[in-house]
């Protein structure tokens, strides 16, 4: 049974979360600054948005981590939303969830996948959260009736967000600012960076600026003027970048780098390029390492000399580049119009392909376009179907058709999050013969609990959840006990217990379990505290697994998630 998720934030899982163990909760209170003396790297972007700051930041984080340094990472987003939890993934990209249940920007996923860190709610702060904090302080009388202004109150609150990551065990704090230099909403953050660099000792801060260097096909010229103007704007705000990373379609000639260095007031060695990659975005760390990015940062910040050990990373890229066999997998979801809506799923499929030495080709199948007349043609020939979480009722009818097609045609299927809820609904209606089975979020909904496949949680029956602050759903890391002999347990290497991240509003209704079981569905994972269903599978089917958790959040390029590894293996078979 289920209850709808609202503002619930489970307690932080200390053993798996880097940095301070306090979350930046809905109250907006900012913890006190730590006592350590870490080095700080500030990453800004210019010319255009989506220039690749997140990938560059994640890549630098990996290089520093592989030098043996302890790295904390933070994404500052200038939008007014308090957090990304309620934002449309088609506009902003996926909502990523950390172990402690924080709903954060998708760049946090890049940080975790590349740098191998476990981040938390401290790692993503928005303008909305900053202003909420300052306003609540003013209401409590913290400012003694004085005039509250952007400088110093907002900028001080911004500085607190990254200084609270500072601790004796943290060598480097990396702070990425979303948006583009010159955006009006980003100016308080830039000013906070400037102030902070003056407050710290020389050699404690470093600025990395990432810009677009366009190539004009008509004149066959690489143009540096946008980069010059972007750096000029940054210098107007009082910040001189130490390193400039140039995004380009191809390698930038030496003469162009020298020109950028001269006009942007940096040494030639500090102008790097981040060009388009051939195999995957995981080539970017190697590209930056080969240009000496980590060495340059270490020299400027006085960090210990070391060479990053990337042998496993290079082996992963070699396997990916040499894979000759392709496996086509349909992603049947309702958010296909946004290229980053299923970012973690896309990456996890790549990881699973590397683990199986195959190249996964995604067939993006917009569930809003699927109907009874075209489901066969849209899915014909795929080796597997994955049904990720969607956006409520959008495209549900098409997703249900895709699930039924995979089930009846014995095509391997993995359904996660809301996709698992739809897989349960499809099975109830079409395999268990419960024609009236419904879901609270899918019109016309259900009024009879006995017909609700997914139902609201009765918190009183589950005191564990009640103790966790008025349970209204599940976010973050939860335990799952795996059934012996199940596909799920084999996928996890015969582990008895696992822990996975959730972002679900409903739970599988216990009232329905007997009827689903009689039709052949087997529960293969339950939460050991509440006995809530975490996963099910269909014996006799080559590979039909539904999990209420979101395994894609914990998949890594050199450590693929067991479920995606097993799913791709089943599809490849």
Which of 434, 433, 379 lies closest to 401, judged by CA? 379
Question: How many Å apart are CA 488 and CA 535, to the nearest integer?
Answer: 8
Within a 13 Å sphere around the CA of 53, how many CA atoms are in the beta-carbon half? 32
- The CA-atom distances, in angstroms, between 22 and each of 68, 116, 526 are 25, 21, 28
Question: How many Å apart are CA 57 and CA 95, to the nearest integer?
Answer: 19
Task: Express each pLDDT in 128-137 by its tens digit.
Answer: 999 999 999 9
Q: What is the mean pLDDT of residues 413-419?
A: 96
On whether both 101 and 216 belong to a single domain, the answer is: yes
Would you list the DSSP string of 45-91?
A: EESSSSSSHHHHHHHHHHHHHTTT--EEEEEEE-SSSSSGGGS-HHH
Question: How many Å apart are CA 488 and CA 334, to the nearest integer?
Answer: 26
Out of 142-156, 334-348, 504-518, pick the least confident: 334-348
CATH number reported for the structural domain that contains residue 214 in this entry: 3.40.50.300
On whether both 97 and 242 belong to a single domain, the answer is: yes
Question: How many Å apart are CA 463 and CA 529, to the nearest integer?
Answer: 9
At residue 336, the pLDDT reads 65
Number of domains making up the chain: 2
On whether both 320 and 299 belong to a single domain, the answer is: no
On whether both 344 and 419 belong to a single domain, the answer is: yes
Question: How many Å apart are CA 34 and CA 2, to the nearest integer?
Answer: 39
Out of 150-164, 207-221, 489-503, pick the least confident: 207-221
C-beta of residue 487 within 8 angstroms of C-beta of residue 566? yes
Which of 518, 400, 388, 533 lies closest to 454, judged by CA? 533
C-beta of residue 98 within 8 angstroms of C-beta of residue 11? no
Last residue of a domain, one of 303, 326, 347: 303
Which of 84, 72, 82, 43 lies closest to 189, judged by CA? 43
Question: Quick check: is 324 in a domain?
Answer: yes
Q: Which two tokens stand for residue 90?
A: 């088609």
Mean pLDDT of the chain: 88
On whether both 296 and 340 belong to a single domain, the answer is: no
CB < 8 Å & 24+ apart, contacts of 456-461? 456/1, 456/2, 456/3, 456/4, 456/506, 457/1, 457/2, 457/3, 457/506, 457/507, 457/532, 458/1, 458/3, 459/3, 461/1
Question: Quick check: is 473 in a domain?
Answer: no
- The CA-atom distances, in angstroms, between 488 and each of 91, 348, 500, 526, 564 are 34, 17, 13, 12, 11
CA 421 to chain centre: 22
On whether both 199 and 117 belong to a single domain, the answer is: yes
Quick check: 13 pLDDT over 70?
no
Question: Quick check: is 1 in a domain?
Answer: no
CATH number reported for the structural domain that contains residue 426 in this entry: 3.40.50.880
Question: Quick check: is 277 in a domain?
Answer: yes
The two beta strands, 326-333 and 215-216, are unpaired
At residue 338, the pLDDT reads 57
Indicate the length of the chain as a whole number. Answer: 573
On whether both 280 and 328 belong to a single domain, the answer is: no
Cβ within 8 Å of residue 202, ≥6 positions away: none
Question: How many Å apart are CA 459 and CA 465, to the nearest integer?
Answer: 7
More confident residue, 19 or 91: 91
At residue 392, the pLDDT reads 61
At residue 130, the pLDDT reads 96
- Among residues of the chain, what percentage have pLDDT more than 70? 90
Question: Quick check: is 158 in a domain?
Answer: yes
Question: Quick check: is 15 in a domain?
Answer: no
Helix 311-322 to helix 343-355 angle (10° resolution) is 90
**Backbone angles phi and psi of 182, in degrees to 5:** 110, -20
On whether both 99 and 234 belong to a single domain, the answer is: yes
Question: How many Å apart are CA 173 and CA 159, to the nearest integer?
Answer: 12
Q: Mapping DSSP to helix (H, G, I), strand (E, B) and coil, where does residue 510 land?
A: helix
Domain boundaries, position 340: 316-455+507-525+532-572
At residue 249, the pLDDT reads 87
Question: Quick check: is 31 in a domain?
Answer: no
DSSP state of 452: B
Last residue of a domain, one of 271, 303, 335: 303
Q: What is the torsion angle, in degrees rounded to the nearest 10, for the CA atoms of residue 446, residue 447, residue 452 and residue 458?
A: 130
Quick check: 20 pLDDT over 50?
no
For tokens 């349909």, the residue is 330
Last residue of a domain, one of 272, 303, 334: 303
pLDDT confidence of 457, banded at 50, 70, 90? low
On whether both 364 and 220 belong to a single domain, the answer is: no
From edge to edge, which strands make up the β-sheet containing 474-482? 359-366, 326-333, 384-387, 413-416, 544-547, 533-537, 522-526, 474-482, 497-504
Question: Residues of 39-53 as b/e, b for ≥16 C-beta within 10 angstroms?
Answer: bbbbbbbbbeeebbb
On whether both 202 and 275 belong to a single domain, the answer is: yes
Question: Quick check: is 558 in a domain?
Answer: yes
Q: What is the mean pLDDT of residues 220-240?
A: 94
Helix 343-355 to helix 562-572 angle (10° resolution) is 60
Quick check: 465 pLDDT over 70?
no
Question: How many Å apart are CA 231 and CA 566, to the nearest integer?
Answer: 47
Any idea what the Cα angle at residue 515 is, between residues 379 and 460, rounded to 5°? 105
Out of 73-87, 123-137, 306-320, 535-549, pick the least confident: 73-87
Out of 14-23, 297-306, 384-393, pick the least confident: 14-23
Cβ within 8 Å of residue 389, ≥6 positions away: 333, 416, 417, 418, 419, 503, 550
On whether both 274 and 373 belong to a single domain, the answer is: no
Quick check: 468 pLDDT over 80?
no
Quick check: 300 pLDDT over 80?
yes
At residue 9, the pLDDT reads 30
At residue 88, the pLDDT reads 80
Out of 325-334, 459-468, 561-570, pick the least confident: 459-468
- The CA-atom distances, in angstroms, between 402 and each of 371, 373, 397 are 9, 12, 9
Any idea what the Cα angle at residue 511 is, between residues 505 and 513, rounded to 5°? 90
Cis peptide before 152 (omega within 30 of 0): yes
Which of 222, 216, 214, 212 lies closest to 245, judged by CA? 212
On whether both 340 and 254 belong to a single domain, the answer is: no
**Backbone angles phi and psi of 45, in degrees to 5:** -130, 155
Question: How many Å apart are CA 351 and CA 347, to the nearest integer?
Answer: 6
């Amino acid at each position: 049974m289920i209850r709808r998720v609202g503002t619930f934030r489970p307690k932080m899982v200390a053993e798996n979360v880097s940095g301070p163990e306090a979350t930046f909760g809905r109250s907006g209170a900012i913890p006190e600054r730590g006592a350590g003396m870490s080095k700080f790297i500030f990453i800004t972007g210019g010319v255009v948005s989506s220039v690749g700051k997140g990938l560059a930041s994640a890549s630098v984080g990996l290089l520093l981590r592989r030098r043996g340094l302890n790295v904390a990472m933070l994404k500052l987003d200038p939008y007014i939303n308090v957090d990304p939890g309620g934002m449309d993934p088609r506009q902003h990209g996926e909502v990523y969830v950390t172990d402690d249940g924080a709903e954060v920007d998708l760049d946090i996923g890049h940080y975790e996948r590349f740098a191998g860190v476990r981040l938390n709610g401290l790692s993503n702060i928005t303008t909305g959260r900053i202003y909420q904090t300052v306003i609540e302080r003013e209401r409590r009388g913290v400012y003694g009736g004085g005039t509250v202004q952007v400088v110093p109150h907002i900028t001080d609150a911004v500085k607190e967000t990254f200084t609270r990551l500072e601790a004796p065990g943290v060598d480097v704090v990396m702070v990425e600012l979303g948006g583009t230099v010159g955006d009006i909403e980003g100016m308080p953050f830039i000013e906070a960076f400037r102030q902070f660099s003056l407050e710290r000792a020389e050699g404690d801060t470093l600025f990395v600026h990432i810009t677009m260097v366009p190539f004009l096909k008509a004149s066959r010229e690489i143009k540096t003027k946008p980069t010059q103007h972007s750096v000029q704007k940054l210098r107007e705000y009082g910040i001189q970048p130490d390193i400039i990373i140039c995004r380009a379609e191809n390698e930038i000639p030496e003469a162009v780098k020298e020109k950028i260095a001269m006009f942007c007031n940096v040494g030639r060695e500090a102008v790097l390029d981040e060009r388009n990659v051939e195999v995957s975005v995981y080539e970017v760390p190697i590209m930056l390492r080969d240009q000496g990015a980590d060495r340059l940062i270490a020299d400027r910040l006085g960090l210990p000399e070391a060479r990053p050990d990337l042998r496993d990373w290079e082996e992963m890229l070699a396997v990916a580049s040499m894979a000759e066999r392709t496996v086509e997998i349909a992603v049947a979801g309702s958010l296909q119009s946004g290229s980053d809506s299923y970012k973690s799923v896309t990456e996890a499929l790549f990881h699973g392909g590397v683990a199986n030495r195959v190249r996964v080709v995604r067939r993006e199948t917009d569930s809003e376009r699927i109907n009874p007349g075209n489901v066969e043609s849209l899915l014909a020939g795929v080796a597997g179907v994955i049904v990720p979480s969607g956006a409520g009722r959008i495209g549900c009818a098409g997703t249900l058709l895709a699930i039924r097609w995979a089930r009846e045609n014995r095509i391997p299927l993995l359904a996660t999050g809301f996709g698992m809820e739809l897989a349960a609904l499809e099975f109830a209606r079409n395999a268990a013969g419960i024609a009236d089975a419904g879901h609270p979020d899918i019109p016309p909904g259900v009024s009879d609990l006995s017909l609700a496949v997914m139902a609201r949680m009765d918190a009183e029956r589950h005191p564990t959840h009640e103790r966790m602050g008025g349970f209204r759903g599940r976010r973050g890391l939860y335990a799952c006990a795996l059934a012996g002999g199940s596909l799920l347990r084999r996928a996890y290497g015969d582990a008895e217990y696992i822990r996975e991240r959730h972002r679900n509003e409903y739970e599988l209704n216990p009232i329905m379990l007997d009827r689903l079981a009689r039709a052949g569905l087997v529960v293969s994972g339950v939460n050991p505290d509440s006995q809530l269903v975490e996963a099910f599978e269909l014996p006799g089917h080559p590979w039909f697994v539904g999990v209420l958790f979101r395994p894609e959040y914990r998949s890594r390029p050199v450590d693929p998630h067991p479920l995606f590894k097993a799913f791709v293996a089943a599809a490849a078979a």
